[in-house]
Structure 1
Amino acid sequence: MPVIPRSVRFTAKGENVIVFGLESGMMMCMTAAAGAISWTKMLKSGVGNIALSPDEKWLLVDNLAKGFDLYQYPHSSPADSFAIPRADCCVQEAAFLEDESAFASGSDHGKIYIFSLKNTSQCLQVLKQGGKKTMIQVVDACSTGESHLVASGTSEKKSTVFIWEKTIEGHGRQQSGGCSVLTLLVILNVVSILAAVLWASGIRVRGLYIPYGSNIFL
């Protein structure tokens, strides 16, 4: 393969494998069964990281320079761009939120950015985790019947994993004062994935519930 693969994803219920090139910005579709190339396209930029929406309609690409570009998959021209300040040339991760109506991304300065995908390029909230030089390169998200959850991990010697929660309107916490079993299992699953990535460096993992309501600006 003439390019350096940066990300790979299964699509079409496992029938295809999409390969994304690091510096080239190549997006190549191959059949999973035979490895035959179905098509190849060139994105606008190199690829630091990608996030593909669960319905495979939208693709977020870390463009390694100014933030993230949003593509209507599998098109190769961006539908929108989201500027995120960047001091160092490091890859960032993003995750779709709330039925693909928003997304969260990390940064190289201790902040998680939440952008709306309904209102063009609008930054809904900036969450703070760490100092001005804190690298946040691991982000994941999920939703339960009661809340939306974002998990973020720092890349430090004493790294932390934070869980941010936004209660779904009309679904408050149970009067018992604790999470439902389903919510707890989802939280533990997200944290375990992030912890596995960072565990080898002897990190410290901590859970924290902080509402990230979309009408709050920090």
Structure 2
Amino acid sequence: MKEDVVILDNISQGIVLYKLLGTERLKTFGVPHSEHKSQNVAFHDGASTVICESNHGKVYIFDCRTGKINNTIHIGIKEWVQLIASIEVAGILLILVGQSGENIGQTKIQVWEKLSITIA
């Protein structure tokens, strides 16, 4: 799916998934916020999910097909989550999260790993 679509933050509409060839809007992802500012977004987990920052200390993980929130990461602050990235290292899916605010340059980067649970 990732080759066919692009994900953008449209300040007036929210996070929007567009078909790459053309301008067809496929899905809009609603992120609660108190200010309208551009947000970082990224595909995650083989483009089956979208991750998005917020201005209140949470990272939202949306299902690409349904548009529903699969999970919310609470990073322990009530400020703007400034930096997010989705990477895979040795087959392990990771989300990197930082923050902005008065501690710029001293911000810790948090690493979140998707846990796989096997039910017998």
Confirm or deny a common fold (TM above 0.5): yes
The amino acid that maps onto 2:108 is: T
Q: Aligned partners of 2:32, 2:51: CA distance in 1, in Å?
A: 14
The amino acid that maps onto 1:126 is: T
The amino acid that maps onto 1:103 is: V
Q: Give the structure 1 partner of residue 112 of structure 2.
A: 164
Q: Aligned partners of 1:146, 1:61: CA distance in 2, in Å?
A: 26
Q: Give the structure 2 partner of residue 186 of structure 1.
A: none
Structure with more of its chain in helix, by fraction:
1
The amino acid that maps onto 1:89 is: H
Q: Aligned partners of 2:52, 2:40: CA distance in 1, in Å?
A: 6
1:74–1:137: structure 2 CA closer, same or farther, 3 Å change rule?
Answer: farther
1:68–1:94: structure 2 CA closer, same or farther, 3 Å change rule?
Answer: same
Residue 112 of structure 1, aligned match among 55, 59, 65: 59
Listed as ranges, the gaps of 5+ residues in structure 2 are none
Q: Aligned partners of 2:80, 2:12: CA distance in 1, in Å?
A: 16
The amino acid that maps onto 2:89 is: T
1:130–1:74: structure 2 CA closer, same or farther, 3 Å change rule?
Answer: farther
**Fraction of identical pairs, as percent:** 25
The runs of 4+ residues in structure 1 deviating greater than 3 Å are: 167-170
Asked if 1:144 is matched to 2:92, the reply is no
Listed as ranges, the gaps of 5+ residues in structure 1 are 1-52, 171-218
Provide TM-score, normalisation by structure 2. Answer: 0.84
Contact 1:148 1:168 in 2 (8 A): no
The amino acid that maps onto 2:114 is: K
1:129–1:97: structure 2 CA closer, same or farther, 3 Å change rule?
Answer: same
After TM superposition, give the deviation of residue 68 of structure 1 in Å: 0.3
Q: Give the structure 2 partner of residue 124 of structure 1.
A: 70
Provide TM-score, normalisation by structure 1. Answer: 0.48
Tell me which structure has the larger Cα radius of gyration: 1
Contact 1:105 1:112 in 2 (8 A): yes
Alignment map for 1:1-218 (pairs within 5 Å): 55-118=2-65, 120-132=66-78, 134-158=79-103, 159-168=107-116
Q: How many residues align?
A: 115
